[in-house]
Amino acid sequence: MNYYKIKNLEQYIKAYKKSVNDPEEFWGDIADKNFIWYQKWDKVLHNDMLNGDIKWFVNGKLNMTRNCLDRHLNKRGDKTAIIFEPNDPNEEAQHITYKELHKNVCKMANVLRDNGIKKGDRVCIYLPMIPELPIALLACARVGAIHSVVFAGFSANSLSSRIQDSDCKMLITSDGGYRGNKTIDLKGIADDALKSCPSIETVLVAKRIDSEIHMEEGRDKWLQPLMDDAAEDNVSEIMDAEDPLFILYTSGSTGKPKGMVHTTAGYMVFTAYTFTNVFNYKEDDIYWCTADIGWITGHSYIVYGPLLNGATTVLFEGIPSYPDFGRFWDVIDKHKVTQLYTAPTAIRALAKENLSYVESHDLSSLRVLGSVGEPINEEAWHWYNNNIGKQKCPVVDTWWQTENGGIMISPLPFITPTKPTYATLPLPGIQPVLMNSKRNEIENHHEEGSLCIKFPWPGMARTIWGNHERYMETYFSAFRGKYFSGDGALKDEVGYYRIIGRIDDVIIVSGHNLGTAPIENAINEHPAVAESAIVGYPHDIKGNGLYGYITLKETGEVRDRDNLRREINEHIANHIGPIAKLDKIQFVDALPKTRSGKIMRRILRKIAAGDFDSFGDISTLLNPESVDEIKNGRIA
Q: Please identify which residue in 15, 508, 546, 604 interacts with ligand PRX, judged by CB under 6 A.
A: 508
First to last CA, the chain: 58
**CA distances (Å), origin 202, targets 86, 164, 207:** 28, 15, 16
Taking the C-alpha atoms of residue 274 and residue 264, their distance in angstroms, rounded to an integer, is 16
Binding to ligand PRX in span 271-300, by CB under 6 A: 296-297
Q: What is the DSSP string of 19-82?
A: HHH-HHHHHHHHHHHHS--SB--SEEEEEEGGGTEEEEEET-EE-HHHHHTGGGHHHHTTSEEE
Q: Please identify which residue in 3, 16, 400, 479 interacts with ligand PRX, judged by CB under 6 A.
A: 400
Long-range Cβ contact pairs of 613-621 (< 8 A, separation 24 or more): 618/592, 620/594, 620/595, 621/592, 621/593, 621/594, 621/595
Q: Report how far Cα 77 is from the mean position of its chain's Cα atoms.
A: 30
Taking the C-alpha atoms of residue 398 and residue 408, their distance in angstroms, rounded to an integer, is 7
**Least distance to ligand PRX, CB of residue 471, Å:** 15
**Least distance to ligand PRX, CB of residue 434, Å:** 15
- Of 435 and 588, the one with the shorter C-beta distance to ligand PRX is 435
Per CB under 6 A, 166 contacts ligand PRX: no
**Least distance to ligand PRX, CB of residue 69, Å:** 25
Selected range binding ligand PRX among 191-199, 431-439, 498-506, 518-526, rule: CB under 6 A: 498-506
Q: Please identify which residue in 423, 434, 582, 588 interacts with ligand PRX, judged by CB under 6 A.
A: 423
Q: What b/e string do you get for 173-204 counting C-beta neighbours within 10 Å, with b at 16 or more?
A: bbbbbbbeeebbebbebbbbbbeebeebebbb
Q: Considering CB under 6 A, how many residues would be counted as binding ligand PRX? A: 22
- Of 194 and 580, the one with the shorter C-beta distance to ligand PRX is 580
Selected range binding ligand PRX among 17-25, 151-159, 464-472, 494-502, rule: CB under 6 A: 494-502
Instruction: Give 372's strand partners.
Output: 398
Amino acid at site 31: A
- Of 508 and 604, the one with the shorter C-beta distance to ligand PRX is 508
Q: Please identify which residue in 170, 265, 372, 430 interacts with ligand PRX, judged by CB under 6 A.
A: 372
Q: Please identify which residue in 487, 504, 505, 520 interacts with ligand PRX, judged by CB under 6 A.
A: 487
Selected range binding ligand PRX among 209-217, 368-376, 436-444, 538-546, rule: CB under 6 A: 368-376
**β-pairing verdict for 94-97 and 80-85:** antiparallel
**Least distance to ligand PRX, CB of residue 474, Å:** 12
**Least distance to ligand PRX, CB of residue 552, Å:** 33
Beta strands in 335-402 (DSSP E): 339-342, 368-372, 395-398
**Least distance to ligand PRX, CB of residue 491, Å:** 14
- Of 80 and 158, the one with the shorter C-beta distance to ligand PRX is 158
Contacts of 199 (CB under 8 A, 6+ apart): 163, 164, 167, 168, 169
Per CB under 6 A, 267 contacts ligand PRX: no
**Least distance to ligand PRX, CB of residue 383, Å:** 16
Query: Looking at residue 369, what DSSP letter applies?
Result: E
Q: Could you tell me if 206 and 102 are in contact, meaning their C-beta atoms sit under 8 angstroms apart?
A: no
Long-range Cβ contact pairs of 349-356 (< 8 A, separation 24 or more): 349/320, 349/321, 349/541, 350/320, 350/325, 351/379, 351/380, 351/383, 351/384, 351/387, 352/540, 352/541, 353/325, 354/325, 355/387
Q: Please identify which residue in 397, 504, 505, 520 interacts with ligand PRX, judged by CB under 6 A.
A: 397
Q: Please identify which residue in 87, 155, 158, 250 interacts with ligand PRX, judged by CB under 6 A.
A: 250
CB atoms within 10 A of CB 443: 9
**C-alpha atoms less than 13 angstroms from C-alpha of 591 in its C-beta half-sphere:** 23
Selected range binding ligand PRX among 106-114, 176-184, 303-311, 400-408, rule: CB under 6 A: 400-408
Selected range binding ligand PRX among 131-139, 178-186, 266-274, 398-406, rule: CB under 6 A: 398-406
Selected range binding ligand PRX among 153-161, 366-374, 388-396, 577-585, rule: CB under 6 A: 366-374
Q: Report how far Cα 309 is from the mean position of its chain's Cα atoms.
A: 20
- Of 188 and 420, the one with the shorter C-beta distance to ligand PRX is 420
Per CB under 6 A, 513 contacts ligand PRX: yes
**Least distance to ligand PRX, CB of residue 399, Å:** 4
- Of 373 and 459, the one with the shorter C-beta distance to ligand PRX is 373
Selected range binding ligand PRX among 165-173, 174-182, 399-407, 590-598, rule: CB under 6 A: 399-407
Q: Please identify which residue in 499, 514, 572, 591 interacts with ligand PRX, judged by CB under 6 A.
A: 499
Which residues of this chain interact with ligand PRX, rule CB under 6 A?
A: 250, 296-297, 372-375, 397-402, 423, 485-487, 499, 501-502, 508, 513
